[in-house]
């Protein structure tokens, strides 16, 4: 009502994801992987940007990919300890259908993709130099990736890396936001 109809597509997609999540999304591996990141990345970031500016742009889209990749990854890694319980209730996600080892490699790729977006957006002039502060989360991400790849099938050893995952998943978008503000 205040900013116009342009926000409606994002809002409707968000509502659809919420309604369809348990009965439908959790039974489709790719959607199960991407839906959380879509909700906490592009839908929230671009929606906020639209409400504040009245439009959409590439910078907001690129910025939204960082929390998008990281939040999808957060849920991906949190599926590892719950694999057997999730299978019993007919959830179908990547670790169930392809195994934890494949899930760990996908985890590594998505984590690195979040940081690659920041670097490439800066190289191509979409992000200001201050946004490179988001790379401060990369050492913790690399440590976590190493642990996830090594302990994917050893849940007792994997648990500490779930905590590290939460830390850099929260810190990186926060630092990216700080980087935009100081630039």
The 10s digit of each residue's pLDDT in 111-151 is 999 999 999 999 999 999 999 999 999 999 999 999 999 99
Secondary structure letter of residue 6 according to DSSP: G
Which pLDDT band, with edges at 50, 70 and 90, does 4 fall under?
confident
Whole-number Å distance between alpha carbons of 58 and 121? 10
Whole-number Å distance between alpha carbons of 117 and 120? 5
Contacts of 32 (CB under 8 A, 6+ apart): 25, 26, 91, 92, 93, 94
Which pLDDT band, with edges at 50, 70 and 90, does 22 fall under?
confident
- Percentage of the residues of the chain whose pLDDT score is greater than 90: 90
Locate 11 and state its tokens.
């809002």
Find, among 143, 120, 119, 123, the residue nearest to 133 by Cα. Answer: 119
pLDDT in tens, 35-75: 999 999 999 999 999 999 999 999 999 999 999 999 999 99
What is the mean pLDDT of the segment spanning 76-96? Answer: 93
pLDDT in tens, 106-117: 999 999 999 999
Q: What is the pLDDT of residue 1?
A: 73
Q: Tokens 């057997």 identify what position?
A: 84
**DSSP characters over 84-143:** HHHHHTT---HHHHH-HHHHHHHHHHHHHHHHHHHHHHHHTTSS-GGGGGGGGGHHHHHH
């Amino acid at each position: 009502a205040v900013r116009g109809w342009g926000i409606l597509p994002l809002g409707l997609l968000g509502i659809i994801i919420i309604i369809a999540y348990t009965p439908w999304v959790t039974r489709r591996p790719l959607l199960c992987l991407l839906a959380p990141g879509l909700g906490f990345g592009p839908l929230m970031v671009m929606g906020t940007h639209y409400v504040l500016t009245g439009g959409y742009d590439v910078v907001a889209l690129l910025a939204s990919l960082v929390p998008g990749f990281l939040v999808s990854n957060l849920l991906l890694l949190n599926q590892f300890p719950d694999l057997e319980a999730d299978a019993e209730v007919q959830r179908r996600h990547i670790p169930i259908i392809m195994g934890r080892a494949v899930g760990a490699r996908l985890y590594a790729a998505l984590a690195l993709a979040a940081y690659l977006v920041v670097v490439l957006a800066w190289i191509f002039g979409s992000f200001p130099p201050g946004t490179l502060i988001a790379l401060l989360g990369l050492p913790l991400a690399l440590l976590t990736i190493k642990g996830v790849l090594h302990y994917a099938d050893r849940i007792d050893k994997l648990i500490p890396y779930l905590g590290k995952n939460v830390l850099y998943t929260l810190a990186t978008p926060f630092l990216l936001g700080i980087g935009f503000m100081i630039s």
